[in-house]
Amino acid sequence: MTESLENLREKIASLEKELQQEKERNDSFKKREKIAEMSSEVVDSNPYSRLMALKRMGIVENYEKIRDYTVAVVGVGGVGSVTAEMLTRCGIGKLLLFDYDKVELANMNRLFFQPHQAGQSKVEAAAGTLLAINPDVQFEVHNYNITTVDNFDHFMNRISKGSLTEGPVDIVLSCVDNYEARMAVNRACNELNQTWFESGVSENAVSGHIQFLVPGETACFDCAPPLVVASQIDERTLKKDGVCAASLPTTMGIVAGLLVQNVLKYLLKFGVVSSYLGYNALLDYFPSMVVRPNPTCEDNWCRRRQQEYAAAEAVRATQAATAAPQPQQQEEAVTHEDNSWGICLVDETPTEPRTDPAGGTSPVTPPGAVVGGLAPGIRVAYDRPAADGAEDDSDNRGAVGSSAPPAPDVTLEELMATMKSL
Ligand SMILES: [Zn+2]
């Protein structure tokens, strides 16, 4: 009897200790209060002092403007979750998160999610973590697949009305892992005239890319065979067969970093925003290029945006009343020799500068550019049937075809600066 009383006392003491530890742990999770205004004050308690220092360093003119912006992240997996975390830590105004997956233990080789979140929806789990990191950010989460008809309509609605001022979001980031979802984002953004970024990581985990898409001005995802690491293999099928894509937290973290870096440059207007930036992990090589739109793109919203862009450019050109007329250029169908999926490693040896279809040497062709004006190390994902007239006109920089829109506002200096950084 005495012994069992002693046991009970011990048990109570141990439980009390456990309770105390749990209380302390909870206290450490206490969320900070919202901060009304971003301050540059250099004190340990200011979560924005290091970011606001970008102003003092002369990099960003008005960092606090980041609070006015809304970013939609489609796909909250290996790249999207890290992207959302970076934007949250940077103090973005609002984040819209779209995903229909659940957190799985099989995701733990990547950053962001934790084992105790297994089974939760990715968007709910992400919003919980992110809100604790920065309560100043507004979150709107949608746990659905954007490719179904009803969800697509709702997705369009949120992209066009989901900002802090109930207008269009400032940028859409595609961080999805399949072709259908990329096409859905492309379709929505063309119709809504919405600027977006595409991103991807290869299934062998050692390459990735980001691509900046401005409807009418740059190639859309449907304009040319995608220069992406897209797979038409259904992931569920892969899982069924006991096979799955490889992934590394390193490659995904790097691609997310490149993506958010360019989003910050775009939103806060500093530096040069990359048009297409690839990453080859085996060589630590970063090919970069500009991809122009295809006048015969199958997406009619894309063609309409191209016409609008061409018209606006014509007006700008007239206003600027610049001198020398640009030479006309024959359109040339490009045959892609390679038909496999994914961005693969190709010959890295620099070759002679490419001669452009107009006969001259393109002044903006990067050294070592290969077939069809693709930067070395980049391949198209697949061939288009010749009948649809699709072509990769990434080599049309600086030239105007009969029906092609004028060259984009990318200066030679900007391109050279981008290339220099390779
Ligand atoms: Zn297009």
Domain at 255, CATH number: 3.40.50.720
Domain identity same for 146 and 294: yes
- pTM of the full predicted structure? 0.72
Domain identity same for 275 and 403: no
Say if residues 247 and 262 touch (Cβ distance below 8 Å): no
Domain identity same for 313 and 420: no
What total number of domains does the chain contain?
2
pLDDT for the residue 170? 98
Print the domain residue range for 149. 46-317
pLDDT for the residue 319? 87
Domain identity same for 395 and 267: no
Domain identity same for 245 and 380: no
In the residue annotation, 244 being an active-site residue is answered as yes
In a domain, 236, yes or no: yes
Domain identity same for 289 and 398: no
In a domain, 109, yes or no: yes
Contacts by residues 335-341 (CB-CB < 8 Å, ≥ 24 positions apart)? 335/383, 335/386, 336/225, 336/371, 336/372, 336/380, 336/383, 336/392, 337/371, 338/379, 338/380, 338/383, 339/382, 339/383, 340/379, 340/381, 340/382, 341/229, 341/230, 341/231, 341/232, 341/381, 341/382
Domain identity same for 278 and 388: no
Quick one: which H or E segment has residue 158?
Answer: helix 149-161
- C-alpha 169/C-alpha 70 separation (Å) is 5
Distance (Å) from CA 301 to ligand 1 centroid = 8
Distance (Å) from CA 87 to ligand 1 centroid = 28
Distance (Å) from CA 181 to ligand 1 centroid = 16
Listed as ranges, residues in the chain with pLDDT below 70 are 1-2, 27-30, 226-241, 322-422
In a domain, 115, yes or no: yes
pLDDT for the residue 243? 73
In a domain, 23, yes or no: no
pLDDT for the residue 98? 98
Strand order in the sheet with 276-280: 138-142, 94-98, 70-74, 171-174, 196-201, 207-213, 276-280, 288-289
In a domain, 331, yes or no: no
pLDDT for the residue 377? 62
pLDDT for the residue 364? 36
Q: Helix or strand or coil: residue 52?
A: helix
- C-alpha 406/C-alpha 253 separation (Å) is 36
Distance (Å) from CA 247 to ligand 1 centroid = 30
pLDDT for the residue 409? 44
In a domain, 34, yes or no: no
In a domain, 333, yes or no: no
In a domain, 334, yes or no: no
Distance (Å) from CA 383 to ligand 1 centroid = 15
Domain identity same for 225 and 295: yes
pLDDT for the residue 308? 96
pLDDT for the residue 371? 33
Domain identity same for 247 and 289: yes
Identified catalytic residue from 175, 223, 244, 302: 244
Domain finish residue from 293, 317, 341: 317
